Structure 1
């Protein structure tokens, strides 16, 4: 039986860094509201400084480094995608709209045919 690997924060230092990140975010938000009498500039400055400090601490932790590596790999993969040209995009959009119109007409005609068969022919409700 194979053991399932669960990736967790391994070191105490990383746990402390993540706790510091949460504390900095909470402190920034609390400072924003506590400094309401000091003016908007002081409020936003405390909030922005708290968030920047939290991001900085997160990026130096192991989960932050893994996140940055994941983001770089994702960006590299996005660059490999072959995006359709404007002409191809407009053509495919037109095909989708045409299909929607054809299907809506088909479903409307099917509905009206079944309505006619059931109500007029079978049940005789409309005379």
Structure 2
């Protein structure tokens, strides 16, 4: 767990302006794709590259805001925590998977047997007693 104290600071006007600009760049890329796709004068690959460029530009603009820096910090801390994870070996994974498959098969056979017994009890014995 992170021991740093969380600071709640408001978003400044400059950051809001940058985020709005990033949104406008993204919307402009999508609108341009839609506009020129209907026209048919621009190849599809150029349109897709334009949208990708708009996404990259919007992310780059947003990265220079306080929320963008917080996201970058979060991603960096997540990568640091992922390095601490002890992943199972291939042998452990195969053995665990085999045990799970075996348990599923055994439980489904047991549930099928219980269903068969209950069906025979209800249909053969109880319903015949009532008639």
Q: What interval of TM-score do these two structures reach, taking the shorter chain for normalisation?
A: 0.7 to 0.9
Flag the 1:51–1:9 CA change in 2: closer, same or farther, 3 A: farther
Structure 1 pair 114/42, CA: closer, same or farther in 2 (3 Å)?
closer
Aligned to 1:34: 35
**1:85 corresponds to 2:93:** no
Q: Deviations over 1:21-52 (max 9, x none)?
A: 11010011112223341333542343232222
> How big is each residue's C-alpha offset from its partner over 1:45-95, in whole Å with a ceiling of 9 and x where there is no partner?
432322221011011111111000000101111110101000000011001
Give yes or no for contact 1:24–1:54 (8 Å, CA) kept in 2.
Answer: yes
Residue segments in structure 1 that go unaligned for 5+ positions in a row: 1-6
TM-score for both structures, normalised by structure 2: 0.82
Structure 1 residue runs of 4 or more that deviate by more than 6 Å after TM superposition: none
What CA RMSD, in Å, does the superposition of the two structures yield over aligned residues?
2.1
Q: Which runs of 5+ in 2 are unaligned?
A: 1-7
Please say if 1:73 is aligned against 2:77: yes
Q: How many residues align?
A: 121
Q: Which residue of 2 aligns with 1:110?
A: 114
